[in-house]
Structure 1
Amino acid sequence: MSFDLNSLLRPHIGKLQPYTSARDEYTGKEGIFLDANENPFGSITEENFNRYPDPYQSELKEEIAQIKKVRPSQIFLGNGSDEAIDLLFRAFCNPGVDNVILLPPTYGMYEVSASINDVAVRKVALTSDFQLQHHKILETADKNSKILFICSPNNPSGNKVKREDILFLLKNFPGLVVVDEAYIDFSDEPSFTTELDKFPNLLVMQTFSKAWGLASLRLGMAFASEEIIRILNRIKPPYNISGLTQDTVLKAIRNKEKVDQMIRDILMEREYLTRELDKLDFIQKIHPSHANFLLVQLPNASEIYDALIEEKIIVRNRSKVILCEDCLRITVGTHAENQALIQALKKIFKAKP
């Protein structure tokens, strides 16, 4: 199937002249800067934050490109992945006309962003084992279906989606296919960034919030063709990533061995938590996970959720989500935190009449 990006793009976005900042006109780091109306005397803090950051995060993208094995020109950095999601709606979906396809249960911000941008949502539920109904997805799509969002490993179920099904949709879906890989670092599945040069309709999202432990910095990554990245850069705010965030993430990338060790520790604790939960006779099901959390089914999950809060243990109640009835989503914690959870569950069920 041939793919024409311009046929998806909102016409006025194609003609848009983006805001030009002072750092677009001069990208060097040396000199006397009298171009951006900054305070020349520095900041009131120990570090100086008086200069605007690099609007395109060039140094950081060079480093990310090396570890992700992509080209810097294939990278967009956003204020969390949520910024990339919102910009995709703004660039490609005409309000009140176009639609996107979501696959519940899935990450909630896709639908929130659609609603904010007045874009219709069409839903094709996952199967009982949280896999794609790929033929039904194509039947649901029409000429106004601009984006398909696939979360793999999926949130809240934790499983990886069958790779062959995603490849089938990349070859046959008429719009953009977004593969959200927020939890890819905890999976044995290779990233779909390896497919970027094969599929011009593919956009892959990842984040520094999970495995990298940098959730407070709010830095999300999107990987796509140079053409799609140029469009996102055209419509983003000029300085969407702070200089402090860029510098901090650069330091983290240069200490990747620590990240790798944290991933190993989380995977080890995921195995421990799965094993200990499985020993509890009141646990009805532990869904297979390729993420840093477990979706666990147990009787009267909402009551158990409230009881855990009384024990000062906070999990996520997913009982009202389709296919997740009586399920709690439990993030993998430290060994001590996981032990405390197991003991709290034993105490709660022992006390139940």
Structure 2
Amino acid sequence: MPILGLPPSQLPVKPSHFDIEQVIRPNILTLQPYRCARDDYKEGILLDANENALGHSISAQENDALGEDPMLVMDLHRYPDPSHDPIKERIAALRGVEGVDRVFLGVGSDEVIDLLMRVCVAPGKEKILITPPTYGMYAVCAQVNDVGVVKCPLELTGQAGEGGVKGRFSLKVDEVKKAVDADPSIKLIFLCSPGNPTGTKIPLESVKALLDYEKFKGIVVVDEAYIDYTDQASSAVSLVKDYANLCVMQTLSKSFGLAAIRLGIAIAQPPLIQILTNTKAPYNISTPTAHLALSALSPASLATMRSKIATTLTSRAALLKSLASLAHLGLGSCIGSNDANFVMIPLLSKDGARLDNVRSQKVYKALAEDNGVVVRFRGNEPGCEACLRITIGSEEENAVVVRKLEVVLREL
């Protein structure tokens, strides 16, 4: 059955054991997408979409308060472009992707996660696989969509794996394969790389092992929200050209510093991108979001982004060194491989003899409620007992974190 909106292809599908028509739910394959007004014509006297032809209702007084804000020159009374190809072109160029037909834009990565479940996984019948500790929205979206969750934990012991196939928080490929063998209803495998909250990347060797596994007929989803904080050779985007059963998620929220605009990205081969496009809401990306995203992807803005990444990495190294100086107060060594814009530190008992989840919670609350420093308690996650996750702040913020943490550790 041809995918609506996608020209037929005579090229062989790789890997040969994958058939997207067996992965996508039948009702989605036959879905007739909503045709919106801007699908046909985008210029002229536009009287086809029941928009307000008199323009937006932001008052002149508010306009004056905003000054020369570029948002004011947008046609806010018009529905946005449903495709946003100029943004996709810049993303494709940035990530080395062949064309816009391999790029999908969502309202944050969370929309991509939700859409993948809705198009691939039958509610009440089929499942996804996740690898705890991992990003919590995979399980939340699964519950919302009445989708089962199979958990195959990462390696929870040992030292940080330095991006290798062994070590703490590495992917247990053989265990994932066993889970797939035991449950053919698994349609999606979610891998977070670099991981949240682990900060550890999954090597491409491990990803390929699952993509090539003939008994898994579904899609491997690699969430690369933090990919810009590690070497680009680690990105699974390089595998997209060879694997139709791969979807890579990225975002403008982290390295680009645009969490507020909610722009997520999926990179995959055209059949899956077309399915996502057919299923999404017609105007999911707003005009203000598109305007800011396009600006962020300009050459000058990309240079700024890379400069800030370099600053973050330098600050991360300095913060780790400062935190290590608090070991005598019961602050443990960082766990994970530190491939993201955060670090994860365990709290020990005051005598340093054991991990202390109770003390960690107390430190977390004391920092936030008495010292104005908010970090994240992750001690209830597998393999993260007594851990606090600390985002890399500005140089001044990092200094405050260390100073306040020392005070709290002495008190508790």
TM-score range, shorter chain: over 0.9
Deviations 1:242-292 (A, max 9, x none): 001001111111121111111111111111111111111222120221000
Q: Distance in 2 between matches of 1:304 and 1:154?
A: 24
Matching residue of 1:37: 50
1:25 and 2:40 matched? yes
Aligned equivalents of 1:212, 1:241: Cα separation in 2:
17
- 1:332 paired with 2:392, answer yes
Aligned to 1:307: 366
Contact map agreement 2:188 2:218 (CA 8 A) in 1: yes
Corresponding position: 1:10 with 2:49: no
2:189 counterpart residue number: 148
Q: Which residue of 2 aligns with 1:220?
A: 264
Structure 2 residue 338 is matched with structure 1 residue 289:
yes
Q: Which is higher, the Rg of structure 1 or of structure 2?
A: 2
Q: What is the CA RMSD across the aligned residues, in angstroms?
A: 1.1
1:106 is aligned to: 134
**CA distance, structure 1, for counterparts of residue 175 and residue 91 of structure 2:** 36
Matches of 2:399 and 2:142 in 1, distance apart? Answer: 40
The Cα offsets for residues 105-124 of structure 1, whole Å up to 9 and x where unpaired, read as: 00000000111111110000
Q: Is the 8 A contact 1:159 1:290 kept in 2?
A: yes
% identical equivalent positions: 41
1:162: Cα distance to partner?
2.6
Q: Which runs of 5+ in 1 are unaligned?
A: none
Of 186, 189, 210, the residue aligned with 1:169 is 210
1:272 corresponds in structure 2 to: 318
Q: Which residue of 2 aligns with 1:323?
A: 383
Q: Deviations over 1:23-81 (max 9, x none)?
A: 1122x3x3111111111121123424001110111121112111111111100100000
- Aligned equivalent of 1:160: 201
Partner residue, 2:306:
260
- Superposed CA deviations along residues 187-238 of structure 1, whole A, max 9, x for unmatched, are 1242111111111000000000000000000000000010000000111000
Q: Could you tell me whether the CA contact under 8 Å between 2:124 and 2:146 is conserved in 1? A: yes
Judge conservation of contact 1:152–1:183 (CA < 8 Å) in 2: yes
Question: Aligned to 1:329, what secondary structure does the other structure show?
Answer: strand
What residue is the counterpart of 2:10 in the other structure?
Answer: none
Contact 1:160–1:189 at 8 Å: present in 2 too? no
> Equivalent residue of 1:197, what SS?
helix
The 3-state SS of whatever aligns with 1:348 is helix
Q: Deviations over 1:86-135 (max 9, x none)?
A: 00111010111101101000000000011111111000011020011111
- The offset of 1:140, in angstroms, is 0.7
1:163 Cα deviation (Å)?
2.2
TM superposition shift of 1:239:
0.3
Find runs of 4+ consecutive structure 1 residues off by over 3 angstroms.
Answer: none
- Aligned partners of 1:226, 1:164: CA distance in 2, in Å? 24
Q: Answer whether contact 1:319 1:328 (CA < 8 A) is retained.
A: yes
Instruction: Kindly indicate whether the alpha-carbon contact (under 8 Å) linking 2:17 and 2:217 is maintained by their aligned counterparts in 1.
Output: no
Q: What is the identity, as a one-letter code, of the residue corresponding to 1:273?
A: L
- 2:282 matches 1:238: yes
Out of 170, 173, 197, which is 1:134 matched to?
A: 173
Q: TM-score, normalised by structure 1?
A: 0.97
- Give the secondary structure class of the aligned counterpart of 2:47: coil
Look up the equivalent residue of 1:40 and give its one-letter code: A
Contact 1:203 1:222 in 2 (8 A): yes
Which residues of structure 2 form unaligned runs of 5+?
1-15, 64-71, 157-167, 349-358
Aligned to 2:31, the other structure's residue is in SS state coil
Does the CA contact (< 8 Å) of 2:125 and 2:185 recur in 1? yes
Check if 1:67 corresponds to 2:88: no
The one-letter amino acid paired with 2:79 is: Y
Counterpart Cα distance in 1 of 2:90 and 2:382: 40
Residues in 1 aligned to 2:188 and 2:248: alpha-carbon distance in whole angstroms: 13
Q: Conserved in 1, the CA contact under 8 Å of 2:23 and 2:217?
A: no
Q: CA deviation at 1:174?
A: 2.5
Match of 2:5 in 1: none
Q: Equivalent of 1:298, from 332, 337, 347? A: 347
> Quick check: 1:105–1:125 contact (8 Å CA) kept in 2?
yes
Where 2:242 maps in the other structure, the secondary structure is coil
TM-fit CA distance, 1:351: 2.2
Q: Does structure 1 residue 196 correspond to structure 2 residue 245?
A: no
What code does the residue aligned with 2:219 have? Answer: L
Match of 1:97 in 2: 125
| Structure 1 pair 314–219 and aligned structure 2 pair: CA distance change class (3 A) | same
Give the Cα–Cα distance (whole angstroms) in 1 for the partners of residues 232 and 208 of structure 2. 14
Residues of 2 paired with 1:318 and 1:167: CA distance? 30
State the shift of 1:166 in Å: 1.1
